[in-house]
Every structure is written in structure tokens, then in C-alpha cells.
């Protein structure tokens, strides 16, 4: 793996603080976390990645932790924003999700929640984003940014996780 990184387990108290904060925004995390969860931190030069019971569940840039695109429980249960095929290459290059590219919404969400961005044709997960409107308002917006892209297929976190997965096999 070309990236330099440091890897270590978090102390129990540090893990509790991280998980409690993450649980506020990620109900799907409850499905895999118990009181005795092992939390391991991988510090890279571009992000912090948290492995919970050996799975890369969360990533952190700055102060905000968000789910990764390999967190299958989140992908299955999260609210979703479907985009048209013309918007796919832009989102996969890190662009925010704009109102004209959205074809439909699935699930309930409020401002600040994380949503899965998927393509309309196949439903493939493309990005994790933070929605900037409450659900009712987002459905009526016709222009501008609706979802801030925080993690997408092909970004440095995605590539690192794929390398980590290949190395583990």
C-alpha cells in the first residue's frame, strides 16, 4: 500500500465518545455496535478511518465522522437520493448533488443527515452526502446544491479501503 498510515486501537473511553457521537446521526450503527465493540483507528495523511469490530465503518475529515461506502448496514437502511445518469460522472468526481440532477428521494431525513447517493438506473451506491435541507423542503428545491458530497467512489478514502480489503485477503 503506497499510503503511509498509523494503526492502533482506541482506548475504551475514546471509543465510547466516538461511537456515541456517531450514533446521534447514524441509526444503522446500532446494528453492529455493542458495549464491547473494538474500535481501531487508521490515521492516514488525508483522513482517519475507524474500523469497528474489524470493519471500516466510519471515516473522519476534520471534525466530522461519516459512514464509508463499505458500511453495508448503512447502505441498506439509509435514506437515499437517486440521481440521473448525466450527474453520475460529476458526483463520482466529487461534485455536490444539485437539484436538477435528482430524480427521486427514498426514506425520511432531516437537515444534516447523511444520505446515500445512488444512480437511478441500477441503484448503485456512488457517494455519501450530507443533506442541507429537511426532507420536505429538499423535495421542492429546483436549483442549487441539495446534498454536500463528503465521500464518493474513487476518492482517496475509497481507494485506500479497496487496497486495505485486497491486502486482507
Reported as a single tens digit per residue, the pLDDT across 48-84 is 999 998 999 999 998 889 999 999 999 999 999 999 9
pTM above 0.95, yes or no: no
In the chain, what are the domains? 5-70+156-168 (3.10.450.120), 73-152 (2.30.130.10)
pLDDT in tens, 8-51: 999 989 998 888 888 888 877 877 777 678 999 999 999 999 99
Phi and psi angles of residue 105, each rounded to the nearest 5 degrees, phi first: -115, 155
CA distance 163 to 66: 20
Long-range contacts of 9-14 (CB under 8 A, 24+ apart): 9/38, 9/39, 9/40, 9/41, 10/39, 10/40, 10/41, 14/39
Amino acid at each position: 500500500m503506497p499510503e503511509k498510515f498509523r494503526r492502533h486501537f482506541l482506548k475504551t473511553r475514546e471509543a465510547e465518545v466516538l461511537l456515541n457521537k456517531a450514533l446521534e446521526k447514524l441509526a444503522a450503527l446500532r446494528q453492529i455496535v455493542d458495549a464491547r465493540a473494538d474500535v481501531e483507528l487508521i490515521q492516514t495523511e488525508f483522513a482517519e478511518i475507524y474500523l469497528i469490530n474489524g470493519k471500516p465503518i466510519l471515516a473522519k475529515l476534520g471534525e466530522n465522522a461519516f459512514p464509508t461506502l463499505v458500511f453495508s448496514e448503512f447502505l441498506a437502511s439509509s435514506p437515499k437520493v437517486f440521481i440521473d445518469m448525466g450527474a453520475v460522472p460529476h458526483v463520482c468526481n466529487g461534485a455536490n448533488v444539485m437539484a436538477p440532477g435528482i430524480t427521486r428521494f427514498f426514506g425520511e431525513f432531516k437537515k444534516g443527515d447523511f444520505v446515500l447517493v445512488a444512480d437511478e438506473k441500477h441503484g448503485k451506491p456512488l457517494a455519501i452526502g450530507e443533506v442541507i435541507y429537511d426532507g420536505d423542503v429538499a423535495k421542492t428545491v429546483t436549483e442549487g446544491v441539495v446534498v454536500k458530497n463528503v465521500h464518493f467512489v474513487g476518492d482517496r478514502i475509497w481507494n485506500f479501503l479497496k487496497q486495505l480489503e485486497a491486502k486482507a485477503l
